[in-house]
């Protein structure tokens, strides 16, 4: 799925151009409770699913009554092609609000792709990746179960595209707060849906769907992205069932490329790992827990 001319690092990740670059807003669209932002990023390489970009607007980043945001914000594209990036945004604070209210033609700063993405089941190099969090178990013929919760959808969407491209069948489980948030899932014909309030699909958490799936097929492997509590539940289920799982984590970030040591999560082995360079995708087994933000 990645264009062949993309440069990769020693650990297999797609490398980012050094320095931030200017992107241009091509379009913005409301999709239920989210905003879909299309950015022209001519000079950027195509990202692997699970990688992310640091974004900031060129004008009006910071200022106003509270003078935030000041630092760039991390976002995983849900897709990219032909020099365009698609981001799905949830307006939860000053940074996402500013990005969600961008107008066509406005400029933004883009740095990335950053971090290590998901290791695909058939990726020949899966075992070679030293970039923390890769799991050697990811090489076999296990059936991938993709789990997304809320705004955790974008990297999972990108992954599902990459799997489909390779002809790998996967089960998609999507959880949302309610129908308004679930609207974005309409494009996933085969996905199974859960909402917290039962207004669409299964009434309850998406992890209930996962539990049932893992009972049916213990020889699966799990990819997940979503809120910390959901990922922690997924981690528990996967660890409990002896199933490998790759979790795409969130964390408050300042830099996104390992410079600040601010984005850490605690490791089973003791100490911390940086989500931005050792993640954001990490093997469930390496994590002591998925900390609440």
Partner 1 sequence: MSVTFCGRQLEHRVVNGSGTFDAIAAERAFGPALRAAFPFSAYVSKTITLRPRDGNAPPRLWETPAGMVNSIGLPNKGVAAYLAEDLPRYAMLPVPLITNVMGGTGEELAEVAAAVGHRPEIFALELNVSCPNVATGLDIGAVPSDLEAVVRRVRAVTAKPLIVKLTPNTADVTLCAQAAEAAGADAVSLINTLRAVPLHPDGRGGRWLGSGQGGLSGPAIRVVALAQVAAVAERVALPIIGMGGVQHGRHAADLLSAGATLVAVGTESFRDPRAAGRITEELKALENAGRARTPPGGQASVCP
Ligand X SMILES: Cc1cc2nc3c(=O)[nH]c(=O)nc-3n(C[C@H](O)[C@H](O)[C@H](O)COP(=O)(O)OP(=O)(O)OC[C@H]3O[C@@H](n4cnc5c(N)ncnc54)[C@H](O)[C@@H]3O)c2cc1C
Residue numbers of the site for ligand FES (CB under 6 A)?
253-256, 258-263, 274-276
Question: Which of these, 254, 16, 214, lies nearest to 117 by C-alpha position?
Answer: 16
Question: Which of these, 146, 119, 139, lies nearest to 224 by C-alpha position?
Answer: 146
Query: Is 60 a binder of its own copies (CB under 8 A)?
Result: yes
Query: Whose Cβ is closer to ligand FES: residue 225's or residue 253's?
Result: 253
What residues from 62 to 121 belong to the interface with its own copies (CB under 8 A)? Answer: 62-64, 67
Question: Which of these, 152, 206, 199, lies nearest to 175 by C-alpha position?
Answer: 206
What residues from 272 to 291 belong to the interface with its own copies (CB under 8 A)? Answer: none
What residue 88 binds from partner 1, its own copies, ligand X, none (CB within 5 to 8 A, per partner kind)? ligand X
What residue 291 binds from partner 1, ligand FES, ligand X, none (CB within 5 to 8 A, per partner kind)? partner 1
Q: Closest approach of Cβ 61 to its own copies, in Å?
A: 6
Among 11, 90, 178, 196, binds ligand X (CB under 6 A): 90
Stretch in the footprint of partner 1 (CB under 8 A) among 23-31, 164-172, 218-226, 259-267 = 259-267
Stretch in the footprint of partner 1 (CB under 8 A) among 7-15, 138-146, 191-199, 232-240 = 7-15
What residue 271 binds from partner 1, ligand X, ligand FES, none (CB within 5 to 8 A, per partner kind)? partner 1
Q: Closest approach of Cβ 54 to partner 1, in Å?
A: 9
Query: Whose Cβ is closer to ligand FES: residue 15's or residue 254's?
Result: 254
In the complex, the residues that contact partner 1 under the rule CB under 8 A are 7, 9-11, 13, 15-20, 56, 62, 65-72, 109, 111, 114, 131, 251-255, 257-266, 270-272, 274, 277, 291, 293
């Amino acid at each position: 799925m990645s264009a062949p001319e993309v440069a990769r690092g020693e650990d297999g990740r797609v490398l980012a151009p050094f320095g931030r670059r200017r992107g241009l807003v091509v379009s913005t669209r409301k999709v239920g409770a989210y905003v879909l932002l299309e950015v022209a990023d001519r000079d950027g390489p195509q990202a692997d699913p699970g990688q992310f970009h640091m974004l900031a607007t060129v004008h009006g980043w910071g200022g106003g009554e509270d003078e935030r945001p000041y630092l760039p914000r991390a976002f995983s594209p849900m897709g990219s092609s032909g020099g365009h990036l698609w981001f799905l945004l949830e307006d939860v604070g000053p940074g996402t609000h500013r990005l969600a209210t961008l107008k066509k033609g406005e400029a933004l700063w883009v740095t990335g792709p950053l971090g290590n993405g998901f290791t695909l089941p058939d990726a020949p190099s899966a075992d070679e990746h030293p970039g923390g969090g890769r799991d050697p178990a990811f090489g076999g013929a296990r059936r991938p179960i993709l789990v997304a919760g809320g705004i955790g959808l974008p990297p999972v969407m990108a992954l599902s595209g990459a799997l489909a491209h390779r002809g790998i069948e996967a089960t998609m489980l999507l959880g949302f707060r309610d129908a308004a948030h679930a609207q974005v899932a309409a494009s996933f014909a085969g996905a199974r849906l859960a909402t917290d309030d039962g207004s669409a699909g299964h009434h309850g958490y998406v992890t209930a769907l996962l539990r049932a799936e893992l009972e049916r097929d213990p020889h699966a492997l799990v990819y997940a992205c979503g809120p910390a509590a959901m990922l922690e539940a997924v981690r528990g289920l996967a660890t409990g069932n002896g199933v490998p799982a790759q979790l795409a984590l969130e964390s408050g970030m300042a830099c996104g490329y390992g410079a600040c040591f601010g984005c850490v999560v605690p490791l089973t082995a003791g100490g911390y790992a940086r989500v931005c360079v050792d993640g954001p995708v990490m093997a469930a087994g390496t994590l002591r827990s998925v900390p609440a933000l």
